[in-house]
């Protein structure tokens, strides 16, 4: 197992390097630069700025000095927020974004999996159809529609929950988590329905029934483990999507996460900021996929013993 | 003990109702074995499942005058009461031990679960019982194996675990649904022996469901023969097998491969060698250990394989699972490379570089459901090789395809249909037609009848024998079923653990086996 993990972690290093390289090249190729504004800057000032941020050096030298700093944990200064470093911005914003993503994921798992299992128990019944059409709607409605809708209903008409903020008043984390998690809940519902349907037709489920187990124990003890495998396989990409897709929700609810910086950095040609956030997200995505893969191996006794015996 | 009177099971679906079981009556007492015999779809499993509430209703509908188990009316019980009987007083074992155990749960846990459900004892006592049950069915070192997962057992061992699980709750009746169908013949003999032994010790009643008449004859006291949900014949086993009254029973009995009635007169010239396999070795390399100190482990799956196939003969290749027979057929067809050794075809090295070479050797596979492309019509399926090898021109294509269909005994009107519209036996005929379309010299048939019912099996075997005779086709017939090989083949090769242990003339090998392994194989065949 350890050997497997070490191998996967080592394999992630060249991937991260490639992400840095490609992003670095892409932002330089993109027209415009960090200091191009509608109000033109005097040439002398521009030259000084370029000099200060090493933008006057040849591109390959810039790249190597960036990577060198990166290896020491320094993401460089932000071009747009001169007083703050990228490291500082990420370290204040990231915990918020991660927390939001985590809540959304938990919400999506609980709602999605129970809806999927519920639907799979009686396939092609009204239960199945209603759960699956709700899921379809969940997939179709984008978060910038769902967010304001939830705010209107729960925040303004009913007045149950605060409409914005993060950690200022009790319950203000609920609506953002629901908004962000809804689409993933719908995906997970479809996946868990499919997985459960397949497993419930297996011979060993018949064995469990033949033992005389009550139906709920058949489903929970014998069905869930195999039925939720596709759900777990989807968790890696889902976690990645939740994190990098949070900027809409962060904007709607005024949440000081990293998602907004990610988007603004691209508009502003804030080179170091783009690179910093991209590397950060890439790292998380690789990490979550690794965790998912390990989980999948761990949950399947046959794979587990194969990996162990390697 | 169990008294069933006119049990009927119907299924109501959108496409109308169908009757799965009609008017089934039987009784069974302690210590007795009742055999239920029938081909697939005859309703033999459904009838047992329905008594225990394992048939979902709807779409099912179960009716009976009475199903009486020791004074309890099974069909009138509610779910909770029925669950106490199911698995507790009436246990079941199933066909495929590979899929019938939960792969995610330790086997000890699965047995303990059954015990705790039906007996009022705590977890530790249940564990002691579970280990005792494992020991009873012949699992060595049961304390340690308690914590193993199903994949760590072989097929036969898994069936033993299933039996341990079924017996651990001390049932009065054991329903065994095709318990040995998925097993090798020597393992089958062991499992049947085990069932007889536990039956004696516990005075257990067994309902033994099987399509295999020889096995049922071996174990059953009473027999019910079913066809399409209807009981055809019922009576003491001896009587049914020695003096069958009904035509269907006679047909079933005739379909059993009979070595004394060879399907084919073996008149061929034994001197003309078509395929010459010499000193063939195959080994797989596996890597073991963590990646910083990997070591390569060689695993030999074929060792020094030497044999000839003579033109026009049917050569049987017999062995149990894991003996290397499929690996060998994959090497001969060029799907795998051998590690060393030579294969000569018609005096020259066998290669598959050109289409013309590829066309000479063709394959028929085991599962006719999986080996035909479900999205191609039969016409497309047969026309593809014809066009690829430029055997006929477009104008004559349809005529040729129709000719192939007639050759394998199918109607030429059905060529525009898709595979799912055919039965298993018909599909296997189509698969044979597809192989014949290439006009091969050598046909390799890899377990071509083991997925088929016994009457269909007899038809396909007759077809193969006929084709070999009429077209002078040479055939390598791979099978785990010795009686099938005996009735069809001219010569036979017996493989065990990657080696040929015996080869020779079919009759002499079966009548006077020389090698110990062959002897044990032949002894394991249920005698008729």
Residue B162 lies in a domain: yes
Q: Could you tell me if B148 and B184 lie in one domain?
A: no
Q: Could you tell me if B286 and B400 lie in one domain?
A: yes
Q: Could you tell me if B483 and B514 lie in one domain?
A: yes
Q: Could you tell me if B221 and B145 lie in one domain?
A: no
pLDDT of B296 strictly over 70: yes
In DSSP notation, B220-233 reads -SEEEEEETTEEEE
| Element of type H or E holding A62 | helix A59-71
Q: Could you tell me if B355 and B292 lie in one domain?
A: yes
Q: Could you tell me if B414 and B310 lie in one domain?
A: yes
Residue B260 lies in a domain: no
Residue B261 CB contacts under 8 Å (≥ 6 apart), including other chains: B487
The whole-number average pLDDT for the span B437-459 is 87
Buried b (16+ CB within 10 A) or exposed e, B354-377: eeeebbbbbbbbbbbeebbeeeeb
Q: Could you tell me if B164 and B215 lie in one domain?
A: no
* B103 interaction partners in chain A (CB closer than 8 Å): 204, 226, 300-302
Residue B91 CB contacts under 8 Å (≥ 6 apart), including other chains: A210, B165, B166, B167, B169, B171, B173, B174, B175
Q: Could you tell me if B298 and B345 lie in one domain?
A: yes
Residue B95 token pair? 């066909």
CB contact under 8 A, A207 and B162: yes
The per-residue pLDDT string of chain A (310 residues; one tens digit each, 9 = 90 and over) reads: 777 788 888 888 899 999 999 988 888 887 777 777 666 777 787 777 777 777 777 888 888 888 888 888 788 888 777 778 888 888 888 888 989 999 999 999 999 999 999 999 888 888 899 999 998 888 888 888 998 899 899 988 998 888 887 878 778 888 999 999 998 999 999 999 999 999 998 899 999 999 989 989 999 999 998 898 999 999 888 888 888 778 888 888 888 888 888 888 888 888 888 888 888 888 888 888 888 888 888 888 888 887 766 5
pLDDT of B264 strictly over 70: no
Percentage above 90 pLDDT, chain B? 25
Q: Could you tell me if B161 and B206 lie in one domain?
A: no
Q: Could you tell me if B165 and B180 lie in one domain?
A: no
Residue B426 lies in a domain: yes
Nearest alpha-carbon partner for A190 in A250, A159, A234, A141:
A234
Nearest alpha-carbon partner for B92 in A201, A204, A211, A219:
A211
CA distance B384 to A226: 40
Residue B61 token pair? 């509908």
CB contact under 8 A, B103 and A310: no
Residue range of the domain that includes B317: 273-524
Which residue is listed with tokens 């009429």? B470
| pLDDT, tens digit (0-9, with 9 covering 90-100), for B87-98 | 889 999 998 888
Q: Could you tell me if B66 and B212 lie in one domain?
A: yes
Provide ipTM, 2 decimals: 0.79
Hey, CA dihedral for A279, A285, A287, A289, is it positive or negative?
A: negative
- pLDDT value, residue B161: 93
Residue B258 lies in a domain: no
Residue B95 lies in a domain: no
- pLDDT value, residue B270: 65
Distances from the Cα of B307 to the Cα of B290, B315, B492, angstroms: 41, 10, 10
| pLDDT, tens digit (0-9, with 9 covering 90-100), for B49-80 | 888 888 887 788 888 888 888 888 888 888 88
- pLDDT value, residue B222: 92
pLDDT band at B290 (very low <50, low <70, confident <90, very high): low
Residue B261 lies in a domain: no
Chain A interface test: which of B49, B79, B100 (most A C-beta within 10 Å): B100
CA distance B43 to B35: 13
CATH number of residue B310's parent domain: 3.40.50.300
Residue A102 CB contacts under 8 Å (≥ 6 apart), including other chains: none
CB contact under 8 A, A210 and B96: no
Q: Which of B118, B152, B287 sits opposite A212 (nearest CB)?
A: B118
Last residue of a domain, one of B220, B253, B286: B253
B30 in contact with chain A, both atoms CB, cutoff 8 A: no
Q: Which of A207, A212, A221 sits opposite B84 (nearest CB)?
A: A212
Last residue of a domain, one of B188, B222, B253: B253
Closest chain A residue to B92 measured between Cα atoms? A210
pTM of the model: 0.80
User: In chain A, which among 209-228 make CB contacts under 8 A with chain B?
Assistant: 209-214, 221-222, 225-226
pLDDT of B392 strictly over 80: yes
Residue B259 lies in a domain: no
Contact between A223 and A196 under an 8 Å Cβ cutoff? The reply is: yes
Which residue is listed with tokens 């007045």? A159
CA distance B161 to chain A (A): 12
Residue ranges of domains in chain A, CATH in brackets? 86-308 (1.10.3720.10)
CA distance A285 to A277: 12
- pLDDT value, residue B477: 93
| pLDDT, tens digit (0-9, with 9 covering 90-100), for A279-310 | 888 888 888 888 888 888 888 888 888 776 65
Backbone angles phi, psi at A94, to 5 degrees: -60, -45
Residue B368 lies in a domain: yes
pLDDT band at B225 (very low <50, low <70, confident <90, very high): very high
Domain count, chain B: 3
How many A-B residue pairs are in contact by the CB < 8 A criterion?
84
Nearest alpha-carbon partner for B323 in B454, B513, B187:
B187
- pLDDT value, residue B307: 92
Percentage above 70 pLDDT, chain B? 96
Q: Which of B101, B104, B152 sits opposite A207 (nearest CB)?
A: B101
CA distance B428 to chain A (A): 26
Q: Is B305 helix (H, G, I), strand (E, B) or coil?
A: strand
- pLDDT value, residue A273: 86
CA distance B174 to A226: 28
CB contact under 8 A, B291 and A208: no
* A222 interaction partners in chain B (CB closer than 8 Å): 102, 105
Q: Could you tell me if B373 and B350 lie in one domain?
A: yes
């Amino acid at each position: 197992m350890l050997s497997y993990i070490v191998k996967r972690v080592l394999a992630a290093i060249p991937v991260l390097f490639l992400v840095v390289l490609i992003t670095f090249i892409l932002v330089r190729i993109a027209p415009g630069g960090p200091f191009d504004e509608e109000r033109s800057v005097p040439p002398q000032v521009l030259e000084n700025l370029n000099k200060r941020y090493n933008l006057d050096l040849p591109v390959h030298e810039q790249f190597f000095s960036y990577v060198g700093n990166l290896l020491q944990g320094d993401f460089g200064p932000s071009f747009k927020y001169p007083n703050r470093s990228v490291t500082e911005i990420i370290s204040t914003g990231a915990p918020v974004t991660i927390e939001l993503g985590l809540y959304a994921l938990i919400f999506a798992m609980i709602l999605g999996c129970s809806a999927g299992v519920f639907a799979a128990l009686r396939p092609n019944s009204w239960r199945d159809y209603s759960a699956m059409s709700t899921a379809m709607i969940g997939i179709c409605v984008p978060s910038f529609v769902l967010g304001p809708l939830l705010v209107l209903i729960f925040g303004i008409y009913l007045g149950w929950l605060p409409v914005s903020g993060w950690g200022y008043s009790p319950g203000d984390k609920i609506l953002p988590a629901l908004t962000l998690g809804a689409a993933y809940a719908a995906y997970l519902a479809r996946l868990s329905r499919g997985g459960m349907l397949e497993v419930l037709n297996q011979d060993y489920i018949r064995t469990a029934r033949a033992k005389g187990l009550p139906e709920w124990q058949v489903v929970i003890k014998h069905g869930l483990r195999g039925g939720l495998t596709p759900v777990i396989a989807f968790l890696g990409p889902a976690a990645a999507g939740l994190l990098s897709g949070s900027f809409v929700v962060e904007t709607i609810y005024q949440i000081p996460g990293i998602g907004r910086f990610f988007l603004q950095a691209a508009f502003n040609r804030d080179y170091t900021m783009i690179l910093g956030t991209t590397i950060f997200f890439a790292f998380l995505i690789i990490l979550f996929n690794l965790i998912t893969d390990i989980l999948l191996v761990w949950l399947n006794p046959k794979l587990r013993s194969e990996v162990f015996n390697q | 003990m169990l008294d069933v009177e006119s049990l009927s099971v119907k299924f109501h679906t959108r496409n109308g109702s169908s009757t799965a079981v009609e008017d089934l009556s039987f009784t069974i007492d302690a210590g007795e074995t009742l055999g239920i015999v029938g081909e697939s779809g005859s309703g033999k499993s459904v009838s047992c499942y329905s008594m225990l509430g394992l048939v979902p209703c709807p779409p099912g509908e179960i009716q009976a005058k009475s199903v009486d188990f020791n004074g309890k009316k099974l069909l009138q019980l509610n779910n909770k009461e029925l669950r106490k009987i199911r698995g507790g007083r009436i246990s079941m074992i199933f066909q495929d031990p590979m899929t019938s155990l939960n792969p995610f749960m330790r086997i000890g846990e699965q047995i303990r679960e059954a015990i705790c459900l039906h007996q009022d004892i705590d977890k530790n006592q249940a564990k002691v019982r579970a280990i005792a049950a494992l020991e009873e069915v012949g699992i060595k070192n049961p304390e340690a194996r308690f914590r193993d997962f199903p994949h760590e057992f072989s097929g036969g061992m898994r069936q033993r675990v299933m039996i341990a699980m079924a017996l651990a709750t001390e049932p009065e009746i054991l329903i065994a649904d095709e318990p040995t169908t998925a097993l090798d013949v020597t393992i089958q003999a062991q499992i049947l022996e085990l069932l007889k032994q536990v039956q004696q010790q516990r005075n257990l009643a067994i309902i033994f469901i099987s399509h295999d008449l020889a096995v049922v004859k071996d174990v059953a006291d009473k027999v019910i023969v079913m066809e399409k949900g209807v009981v055809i014949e019922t009576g003491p086993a001896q009587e049914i097998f020695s003096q069958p009254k009904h035509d269907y029973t006679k047909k079933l009995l005739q379909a059993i491969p009979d070595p004394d009635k060879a399907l084919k007169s073996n008149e061929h010239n034994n001197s003309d060698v078509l395929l010459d396999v010499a000193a063939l070795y195959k080994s797989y390399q596996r890597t073991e250990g963590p990646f910083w100190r990997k070591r390569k482990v060689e695993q030999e799956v074929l060792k020094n394989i030497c044999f000839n196939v003579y033109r026009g003969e049917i050569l049987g290749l017999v062995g149990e699972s894991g003996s290397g027979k499929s690996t060998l057929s994959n090497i001969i067809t060029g799907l795998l490379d051998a590690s060393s050794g030579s294969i000569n075809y018609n005096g020259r090295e066998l290669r598959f570089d050109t289409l013309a070479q590829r066309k000479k050797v063709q394959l028929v596979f085991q599962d006719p459901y999986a080996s035909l492309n479900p999205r191609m019509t039969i016409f497309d399926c047969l026309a593809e090789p014809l066009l690829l090898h430029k055997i006929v021109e477009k104008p004559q294509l349809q005529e040729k395809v129709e000719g192939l269909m007639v050759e394998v005994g199918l109607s030429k009107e059905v060529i525009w249909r898709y595979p799912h519209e055919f039965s298993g036996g018909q599909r296997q005929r189509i698969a044979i037609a597809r192989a014949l379309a290439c006009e091969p010299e050598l046909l390799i048939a890899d377990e071509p009848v083991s997925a088929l019912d016994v009457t269909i099996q007899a038809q396909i075997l007759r077809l193969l024998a006929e084709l070999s005779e009429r077209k002078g086709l040479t055939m390598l017939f791979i099978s785990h079923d010795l009686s099938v090989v005996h009735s069809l083949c001219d010569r036979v090769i017996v493989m065990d653990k990657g080696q040929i242990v015996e080869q020779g003339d079919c009759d002499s090998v079966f009548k006077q086996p020389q090698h110990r392994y062959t002897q044990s194989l032949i002894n394991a065949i249920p005698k008729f």
